[in-house]
Amino acid sequence: ANLNRELQLEREKQNINNSINGEDPPYTTNNSRSPPEAAAAEDQLQYGRKTNCFPRSVSNFSCLLLEWKNVLKEVQVGNSPSLHCVLPCITYLREQMINGEKKERGGMKFFYKRVIQLLDNMFKLEDDHIRASFLHPNYKQLRGATKTQIKSCHAYCRGLVLPDTTGDDPVISDKDVCEPPSKKSKFMLQLMDKNEIVKEPGMNEIDRYNALTVEEEYTNPLTFWQQQHIQLAYPTLYRLAKRTFAVPCSSAAVERQFSAAGQIVTQRRSNLDPSTVNNLIFLRSIENSKRQM
């Protein structure tokens, strides 16, 4: 807008000088337009030249922000465990920004470079982030972590495993697990082979967990660790998973609880007992979890 105004003032000044000197205005090339209309058309042409690449820049910048939107939506929505999302999300963003830097040119290339620098400076992967990804059965390969971080994570987990003094444990199968019978069992499910977890000699709990093949995709890691045969096969990792996944990766869920508490404790209900408020918020979180399921 300032550029158009400067062009208009410069043209008006030139027209005044031409009229004083007795010269014809520079609008005689198009006799069908009056001088003000020709000036407006020239301004519009100059504005179109300056902003020709504006829609494309906005589209490219929206593609850059879309990747961040997807990550924030995955991390902040819901109350399920999210600490394991840090390593995969940071790795995903870094790969997308590097690919965008290679494809883009001009000003957008600068933005992609700057975002990569922000990722390296602002987000520091801690041991808890690596450990949480390792305890998720679908991210245990720790793609995106350095070799030092992977070795440190495995060494920490091995240090928690107690020495086995009873020798090789027997094979743990679903027959050894005491579970109540289901109310409506399907016939074909009874004919399926039972998956057995065999503990080979010379392999500790960490090695067996690394060698475990998981075909099912778990959105919530606690679903994997709630299985009783998994708890019997990996007791140390099970206890570590309960302690690790209790930590959220962001404060979004906590902020939602504060907002809910503000709706419960109002001016008319300011004398509520703290234990009552705590119970109400706890019941509210359970109901929200049931709705999401």
> What are the residue ranges spanned by the domains of the chain?
61-161+205-249, 251-291
Q: Flag whether pLDDT at 185 surpasses 80.
A: no
Average pLDDT over residues 84-108: 84
Give the burial class of 85: count Cβ atoms within 10 A of its Cβ; 0-12 exposed, 13-18 middle, 19 or more buried. buried
Average pLDDT, the chain: 75
What confidence category does residue 268 fall into, taking pLDDT thresholds of 50, 70 and 90? confident
- What are φ and ψ of residue 169, in 5° steps? -75, 150
- Token code pair at residue 268: 């008319």
Q: Flag whether pLDDT at 186 surpasses 70.
A: no
Cβ atoms of 161 and 204 within 8 Å: the answer is yes
Which residues lie closer than 8 Å to 74 by C-beta, 6 or more apart?
A: 82, 85, 89
The DSSP bridge partners found for residue 172 are 197
pLDDT tens sequence across 20-37: 666 555 544 444 455 555
Question: b vs e for 66-83, b when ≥16 Cβ sit within 10 Å of the residue's Cβ?
Answer: ebeeebeeebbebebbbb
pLDDT tens sequence across 196-221: 444 455 578 888 898 888 888 888 88
Helix segments in the chain, DSSP class H: 2-21, 35-50, 54-76, 86-103, 107-122, 127-135, 147-160, 187-190, 205-211, 221-225, 228-233, 235-244, 252-264, 274-292
- Token code pair at residue 15: 């027209």
- Token code pair at residue 19: 């009229």
Which residues lie closer than 8 Å to 140 by C-beta, 6 or more apart?
A: 133, 134, 209, 210
Average pLDDT over residues 51-78: 72
